[in-house]
Amino acid sequence: MGTIKIRAKAKKGVTTVKSLITHPMKTGLRKNKKTGKLIPAHFIQEITCQHNGTEVMKAYWGPSISKNPYLSFKFKGGEKGDKITINWMDNKGNKDSLSKKIR
C-alpha cells in the first residue's frame, strides 16, 4: 500500500522522531467527477511508535488528516543504535510497519 520513512535522532536524553507516511487519506466526502458517486473513506485510524519494543506514542486519526501525513514528536530517552518502530492501521484493515535505528 504505502511507504513509511523514519528519521530518529537522540540528543541530550531526548529523541526526536520524524516520519512521512504515503497514504491516500480519503475523507469519504468527495465525489467522483465522472460518476457523481462518493469516493469511499480510506484513512489511517491508528498509529503507534515503539522504542525497543516499548510503546512511546499512540495516536488515533480520522479522515481530516491530510494525504501523505507527516508525523513528528519527541520522547525522553533513547540512545544511538536503539530501535524505533512505527506501525499504522487504516479503516480498511491495511497495515504497515517500519523499524529504524536512532542516530
Which is it for strands 83-90 and 95-101: parallel, antiparallel or unpaired? antiparallel
Which is it for strands 70-76 and 14-21: parallel, antiparallel or unpaired? antiparallel
Which CATH number belongs to the domain containing residue 15 in this structure?
A: 2.60.40.10
Please state the domain count of the chain. Answer: 1
Write out pLDDT tens, residues 30-41.
999 999 999 999
DSSP 8-state class, residue 41: P
Per the structure block, which three cell numbers stand in for 101? 535505528
In terms of residue numbers, what domain contains 69? 4-101
Write out pLDDT tens, residues 56-93.
999 999 999 999 999 999 999 999 999 999 999 999 99
Cα 46–Cα 48–Cα 74 angle in degrees, nearest 5: 125
Read off the pTM.
0.90
